[in-house]
Chain A
Amino acid sequence: MCQSCHVRTVSTYRTAAQVDQRGSGKGQPVLTTHAPQAGQGVTLPTTLDEAVAALTAMPAAVPVAGGTDFMTAVNSGQLRPAALVGLGRISEIRGWQYQDGHALLGAGLTHARMGRPDFAALIPALAAAARAAGPPHIRNAGTLGGNIASAAPTGDALPVLAALEATLIIAGPGGARREIPVSHLLAGVEMLRAGELIGYVRVPLLHAPQVFLKATGRTGPGRAVASVALVLDPARRQVRCAVGAIAPMPLRPLDAEHWVAQLIDWDKGRVIVPEAVNAFGEYVAAACIPDPAPAEDGTVQQLPPAVLHLRRTVAALARRALGRALS
């Protein structure tokens, strides 16, 4: 028999007073279902360099911004971080600034902030992706940098950044800054080193239509089944397109981009024949979801119906995205 259960009244509520009493009265740790060990080493730096210093000083610490992916893993017991470095108080990365034709977006920008009209006037596709990125409470917490760092295949900002050919400004120990293309990080060509943090995302300001379209399983917020980001770059006479959620990282159908860019009459109001828009959709879809290689005996393999449907979805998204960008 245990000695501590003489009292058998069941209080309907675990009030703060009860918990305190129990904690202090017996000198035992307070019982809670939510990882108390994370509370031990939380640092809340106010500048990027402080954050980097904190991470360098304690290599086991995990940086956390919105925590929308991270905290679910902690609360379900899958992650037990030794310490946390909270990035929420670093005001320098929560806004954006302009730099020779580019916008320097702070990694701490929330989806809610990016979804607002002033930001949408600047980088429309990123704003559309931010608005589509989940229910309001997730958008209020989740950040641009977090979306890149967790690099989930369904991350909505990722195809937009890939299409914009954004670069990341990484803050390292001792005030060091280096720049890497976002695609390099997502593809694992270059990795974040110990103590490094994503500080800013450098995005070109293109002053032309941009579209982000996403297919989900329901009308309400949901993870992307497939998404397409398409941006026009009139200065370089380019169309850049990235397809998200169908592969571990966004895919760029470069051939389709070059092909369709030639067909656009850039000087006379950016017009294109409707057939080319349709063909562009098919081209993008076939590039991202290729037909399977013929079998050894030469028989043509069929894609499974679900994959064919995904290909059809990508084609429709790409066609609609180009149509809207040029309309």
Chain B
Amino acid sequence: MSNEAATAAAPETAAAPEPPPHGLGSSLPAADARAKTEGTFPYAADLWAEGLLWAAVLRSPHPYARILSIDTSHAREMPGVRAVITHEDVPGRPVYGRGKADRPVFASEVVRYHGEPIAAVAADHPDTARMAAAAIVVEYEVLEPVTDPEKAFEAEPLHPDGNLIRHIPLRHGDPEAVGEVIAEGLYRIGRQDPAPIGAEAGLAVPRPDGGVELYVGSTDPHTDRDTLAACYGLEPERVKIVVTGVPGATADREDQGFQLPLGLLALRTGCPVKLAATREESFLGHAHRHPTLLRYRHHADAEGRLVKVEAQILLDAGAYADTSSDALAAAVAFACGPYVVPNAFIEGWAVRTNNPPSGHVRGEGAMQVCAAYEAQMDKLAKKLGLDPAELRMRNVMATGDVLPTGQTVTCPAPVAELLQAVREHPLPPLPKDIPQEEWLLPGGPEGAGEPGAVRRGVGYGLGMVHMLGAEGADEVSTATVRVQNGVATVLCAAVETGQGFSTLARQIVQETLGIEEVHVAPVDTDQPPAGAGCRGRHTWVSGGAVERAAKMVRTQLLQPLAHKFGMSTELLQITNGKITSYDGVLSTTVTEAMDGKELWATAQCRPHPTEPLDEAGQGDAFVGLAFCAIRAVVDVDIEMGTVRVVELAVAQDVGRVLNPAQLAARIEAGVTQGVGIALTENLRTPRGLVRHPDLTGYALPTALDVPDIQIVKLVEERDVVAPFGAKAVSAVPVVATPAAIASAVRAATGRPVNRLPIRPQAAVVTNP
């Protein structure tokens, strides 16, 4: 529809050039888009300072070993080496960690995962630094690693805090309830790496007051600053983080284990120190998506209505807690999906192993359970002889329904409408209906695909995520808006990670103040905190703060005029830099009204508080929820097991569209990440050792792997508690896409497909 309208309107727009995009609801392009496209945008890896030294980190080659001795003397003696640091050189707190401080800055007695930092070197050349790191002699007593999370319960404690990081036994409803139809399943989700396109890099510069400044691509500068200050034994004011360009962040962008040695070496040597991680170090160092083992039992009545869900969810947290507790809460709370389930009994555990670290990767917890509960829905549909989409339709949640955590869904939950939209979207043509030259069979354009062996399948995935931090996390953001000479500047510590916050901030100020030229200041920790750039936080909290600050400036600007003309400020409006009153009596420009003054206003936004889940997994833990429905159409070569996703139709609950182009890009990005989880992305770690930590071995989706993404419907039902009524959009397509693709492969092959990524042998039909 909209496409036709656009074509019809085209001749008119050609005659009269469109005004530039302005305010909320327009597709304002990002201010740095051109620089990023042309390659002139400065990322952390491009930084340079006079007299800088290069750092290298020595990482553990073993997943689990006792350190008997560390001999740095050879490394120290190498010409060009300026400093070698180990656990003995950490002046402050020797441990750190996001949820719980359980992770050593440098391993001292034990290494608990392959790639754990042991020492760091600063030298005058990067090769010297790497060679010196390699020259550090560490004597290990290699121990038997615990790599199976199921064995972590009985294994000897890997850490003084024990192997169980968190256990949530959620109990909701009647344990005796039994359905007429029962479906059971065991599901495994692999380890996804966030694989940021720019590997970690940063520059640390010592300050004359004995402090240090770090120029890094942090997404949560204030938390990182506090961690660094505590470990350096400095006051937080003496550590400053300046955020440079962030080259890709679908997870916690910066592994603090990389920032810590960087700053420490700068403090040690008194010189600027630069560290640029290799792709291998990047794979080893940062947090991955939790590999998960899920066991499910669904009960339904004869009409297909869900009666009870029982589940056991086991998250492999790796060696340290990080944000595993949050991931587990999301996994347990959303274990039944966006369906009405009167009785739910979910046991969730996050356990410690010697596998690579797990942490925040968008949609964590929710993505793993989505793959499992949607597989269960397919199984139930098969048992009941119902259409999988029809079965889902009979169970979908709506506003007013209750989550298994006992929380009532108060925000818009248009799940039925979303499912209906993707269900009704016309199916893509079959290969036989399109010219042979346009065929793209499973296996790719030069692949071995044979039309006779290809089967098509259609599957559905309904996903949900929560927005902002859960379980009582204090969410707050502060923003300042300054106006001078007709130019507005926004100061807010919300990091532009690619999610589009800086564009949104410009749009908000344009909308509120009618000023075209808006700049967003670079972020550093001298500004008040805004929280991490994840879970839709900045659209909601920081966007809300910017709007309030802009409104305060508006009042300051209009108050004198309103007073003079004896009307309230609401009767005045600002458009294109002109202030007019509702009756047209008053007409002046913003510049005149400013009268050379400079206007400043600072405001905070803090959403309503939440509460932690209690010992039965009950509590109002989430501020808001976002939903999405995806229909996947796949072609499977049933002899080779190769899968090609033909089309993904997406319908999403977005609250309100603030920037259509940016929104579409975020959905496409999320769906693409989901395609990776479904088909190719799995960091293999036999016996705890990371194999193929490179982008050849770890296959990301390419342009050919990403299907035609059809955004068929964006439901704009405003969430009244959210600023602008907008919801987070990036995470929920990641959650639903893998489930939808697995469901479609199931439909094409009749195989159970209970493991992600889908291995070719799981999509083969041996006796067709």
Residues of A that sit less than 8 Å from B by CB: 1-2, 4-14, 18, 22, 31, 33, 35, 76-77, 128, 131-132, 135, 213-223, 305-306, 308-309, 312-313, 316-317, 320
Q: B400 contacts the other chain (Cβ, under 8 Å)?
A: no
How many angstroms between the C-alpha atoms of A313 and B364 in the bound complex? Answer: 34
**Minimum distance in angstroms from A66 CB to a CB of chain B:** 16
Instruction: List the A side residues contacting B196 at CB < 8 Å.
Output: none
Pairs A-B, 3 closest by C-beta atoms: A220-B702, A4-B51, A132-B446
Instruction: List the A side residues contacting B272 at CB < 8 Å.
Output: 5, 8, 10
Of B3-11, B26-34, B640-648, the stretch lying at the interface with chain A is B640-648
Of B122-130, B163-171, B651-659, the stretch lying at the interface with chain A is B122-130
With beta carbons under 8 angstroms apart, the residue of A5, A216, A218 that contacts B50 is A5
Of B350-358, B437-445, B623-631, the stretch lying at the interface with chain A is B437-445
**Minimum distance in angstroms from A205 CB to a CB of chain B:** 22
Q: B103 contacts the other chain (Cβ, under 8 Å)?
A: no
Contact with A along B338-351 (1 / 0, CB 8 A): 00000000000000
Q: Are B270 and A1 interface neighbours, CB within 8 A?
A: yes
Apart from A4-B271, A213-B448: 15 A-B pairs, beta carbons within 8 A: A2-B269, A2-B271, A8-B49, A11-B49, A76-B278, A215-B640, A215-B642, A216-B444, A218-B702, A219-B442, A220-B702, A220-B703, A220-B704, A312-B640, A312-B766
Q: Known contacts A5-B270, A8-B272: does B127 contact A35 (CB below 8 Å)? A: yes
Q: Known contacts A5-B51, A316-B639: does B764 contact A218 (CB below 8 Å)? A: no
Q: B565 contacts the other chain (Cβ, under 8 Å)?
A: no
Instruction: List the A side residues contacting B450 at CB < 8 Å.
Output: 320
**Minimum distance in angstroms from A195 CB to a CB of chain B:** 29
**Minimum distance in angstroms from B25 CB to a CB of chain A:** 33
Q: Known contacts A4-B50, A10-B47, A312-B764: does B699 contact A218 (CB below 8 Å)? A: yes
Contact with A along B442-481 (1 / 0, CB 8 A): 1110111010010000000000000000000000000000
Instruction: List the B side residues contacting A213 at CB < 8 Å.
Output: 447-448
Residues of B that sit less than 8 Å from A by CB: 42, 46-54, 82, 124-127, 130, 203, 205-207, 215, 244, 269-272, 276, 278, 280, 440, 442-444, 446-448, 450, 453, 639-642, 644, 679-680, 696, 699, 701-705, 759-761, 764, 766
With beta carbons under 8 angstroms apart, the residue of B82, B641, B705 that contacts A2 is B82
With beta carbons under 8 angstroms apart, the residue of A18, A22, A316 that contacts B640 is A316
Q: Are A220 and B48 interface neighbours, CB within 8 A?
A: no
Instruction: List the B side residues contacting A305 at CB < 8 Å.
Output: 761
Q: Are B705 and A216 interface neighbours, CB within 8 A?
A: no
Q: Are B446 and A131 interface neighbours, CB within 8 A?
A: yes
Q: Known contacts A218-B679, A313-B640: does B271 contact A5 (CB below 8 Å)? A: yes
How many angstroms between the C-alpha atoms of A164 and B411 in the bound complex? Answer: 67
Q: Are B49 and A9 interface neighbours, CB within 8 A?
A: yes
**Minimum distance in angstroms from B644 CB to a CB of chain A:** 5
**Minimum distance in angstroms from B78 CB to a CB of chain A:** 15
Q: Are B127 and A309 interface neighbours, CB within 8 A?
A: no
**Minimum distance in angstroms from B533 CB to a CB of chain A:** 21
Q: Known contacts A18-B48, A215-B642, A218-B699: does B444 contact A33 (CB below 8 Å)? A: no
Instruction: List the B side residues contacting A131 at CB < 8 Å.
Output: 446
Residue of chain B at shortest CB distance from A217: B699
Instruction: List the B side residues contacting A308 at CB < 8 Å.
Output: 761
Question: Which of A10, A11, A320 has the most C-beta atoms of chain B within 10 angstroms of its own C-beta?
Answer: A10
Q: Are B48 and A222 interface neighbours, CB within 8 A?
A: no
Interchain Cβ contacts under 8 Å between A and B, 14 examples: A1-B270, A2-B53, A2-B269, A5-B49, A5-B52, A8-B207, A10-B215, A12-B47, A13-B48, A216-B447, A219-B702, A305-B761, A309-B641, A316-B453
Instruction: List the A side residues contacting B443 at CB < 8 Å.
Output: 214-216, 219
Q: Known contacts A2-B270, A5-B49, A10-B215: does B444 contact A220 (CB below 8 Å)? A: yes
Instruction: List the B side residues contacting A35 at CB < 8 Å.
Output: 127
**Minimum distance in angstroms from B704 CB to a CB of chain A:** 4
Question: Which of B82, B124, B440, B766 has the most C-beta atoms of chain A within 10 angstroms of its own C-beta?
Answer: B124
Q: Are B761 and A309 interface neighbours, CB within 8 A?
A: yes
Residue of chain A at shortest CB distance from B49: A10
How many angstroms between the C-alpha atoms of A14 and B44 in the bound complex? Answer: 12
How many angstroms between the C-alpha atoms of A7 and B52 in the bound complex? Answer: 10
Q: Are A218 and B701 interface neighbours, CB within 8 A?
A: yes
How many angstroms between the C-alpha atoms of A290 and B699 in the bound complex? Answer: 29
How many angstroms between the C-alpha atoms of A217 and B447 in the bound complex? Answer: 11
**Minimum distance in angstroms from B59 CB to a CB of chain A:** 15
With beta carbons under 8 angstroms apart, the residue of B42, B53, B82, B444 that contacts A219 is B444
Instruction: List the B side residues contacting A219 at CB < 8 Å.
Output: 440, 442-444, 447, 642, 644, 702, 704-705
How many angstroms between the C-alpha atoms of A215 and B130 in the bound complex? Answer: 38
Q: Are A309 and B760 interface neighbours, CB within 8 A?
A: yes
How many angstroms between the C-alpha atoms of A312 and B641 in the bound complex? Answer: 10
How many angstroms between the C-alpha atoms of A309 and B766 in the bound complex? Answer: 10
Residue of chain A at shortest CB distance from B757: A217
Residue of chain B at shortest CB distance from A221: B702
With beta carbons under 8 angstroms apart, the residue of B244, B269, B271, B446 that contacts A214 is B446
How many angstroms between the C-alpha atoms of A131 and B440 in the bound complex? Answer: 15
Q: Are B696 and A220 interface neighbours, CB within 8 A?
A: no
Q: Are A320 and B270 interface neighbours, CB within 8 A?
A: no
Q: Known contacts A217-B680, A219-B644, A220-B703: does B42 contact A13 (CB below 8 Å)? A: yes
Q: Are B130 and A309 interface neighbours, CB within 8 A?
A: no
How many angstroms between the C-alpha atoms of A142 and B403 in the bound complex? Answer: 56
**Minimum distance in angstroms from A216 CB to a CB of chain B:** 7
Instruction: List the A side residues contacting B701 at CB < 8 Å.
Output: 218, 220
With beta carbons under 8 angstroms apart, the residue of A2, A9, A11, A320 that contacts B448 is A320
Instruction: List the A side residues contacting B203 at CB < 8 Å.
Output: 10
Instruction: List the A side residues contacting B644 at CB < 8 Å.
Output: 219
Instruction: List the B side residues contacting A132 at CB < 8 Å.
Output: 444, 446-447
**Minimum distance in angstroms from B668 CB to a CB of chain A:** 16
**Minimum distance in angstroms from B383 CB to a CB of chain A:** 27
Q: Are B125 and A31 interface neighbours, CB within 8 A?
A: yes
Question: Which of B48, B641, B679, B701 has the most C-beta atoms of chain A within 10 angstroms of its own C-beta?
Answer: B48
Instruction: List the A side residues contacting B703 at CB < 8 Å.
Output: 220
Residue of chain A at shortest CB distance from B697: A223
**Minimum distance in angstroms from B646 CB to a CB of chain A:** 11
**Minimum distance in angstroms from A175 CB to a CB of chain B:** 39
Q: Are B705 and A220 interface neighbours, CB within 8 A?
A: yes
**Minimum distance in angstroms from A61 CB to a CB of chain B:** 20
How many angstroms between the C-alpha atoms of A247 and B637 in the bound complex? Answer: 24
Q: Are A12 and B46 interface neighbours, CB within 8 A?
A: yes
Instruction: List the B side residues contacting A7 at CB < 8 Å.
Output: 49-51
Q: Are A312 and B639 interface neighbours, CB within 8 A?
A: yes
Question: Which of B50, B126, B701, B704 has the most C-beta atoms of chain A within 10 angstroms of its own C-beta?
Answer: B50
Instruction: List the B side residues contacting A13 at CB < 8 Å.
Output: 42, 46, 48
How many angstroms between the C-alpha atoms of A222 and B681 in the bound complex? Answer: 13
How many angstroms between the C-alpha atoms of A320 and B454 in the bound complex? Answer: 13
How many angstroms between the C-alpha atoms of A159 and B446 in the bound complex? Answer: 16
**Minimum distance in angstroms from B464 CB to a CB of chain A:** 28
How many angstroms between the C-alpha atoms of A217 and B640 in the bound complex? Answer: 11
How many angstroms between the C-alpha atoms of A22 and B52 in the bound complex? Answer: 12
Instruction: List the B side residues contacting A12 at CB < 8 Å.
Output: 42, 46-47, 244
How many angstroms between the C-alpha atoms of A33 and B56 in the bound complex? Answer: 12
How many angstroms between the C-alpha atoms of A170 and B699 in the bound complex? Answer: 36
How many angstroms between the C-alpha atoms of A26 and B215 in the bound complex? Answer: 26
How many angstroms between the C-alpha atoms of A294 and B207 in the bound complex? Answer: 71
Instruction: List the A side residues contacting B52 at CB < 8 Å.
Output: 5
**Minimum distance in angstroms from A280 CB to a CB of chain B:** 15
Q: Are A33 and B696 interface neighbours, CB within 8 A?
A: no
How many angstroms between the C-alpha atoms of A217 and B759 in the bound complex? Answer: 9
Instruction: List the B side residues contacting A312 at CB < 8 Å.
Output: 639-640, 761, 764, 766
Question: Which of B443, B446, B704 has the most C-beta atoms of chain A within 10 angstroms of its own C-beta?
Answer: B446
**Minimum distance in angstroms from A129 CB to a CB of chain B:** 9
**Minimum distance in angstroms from B614 CB to a CB of chain A:** 44
With beta carbons under 8 angstroms apart, the residue of B127, B453, B639, B761 that contacts A306 is B761
Q: Are A222 and B699 interface neighbours, CB within 8 A?
A: yes
With beta carbons under 8 angstroms apart, the residue of A11, A128, A223, A317 that contacts B48 is A11
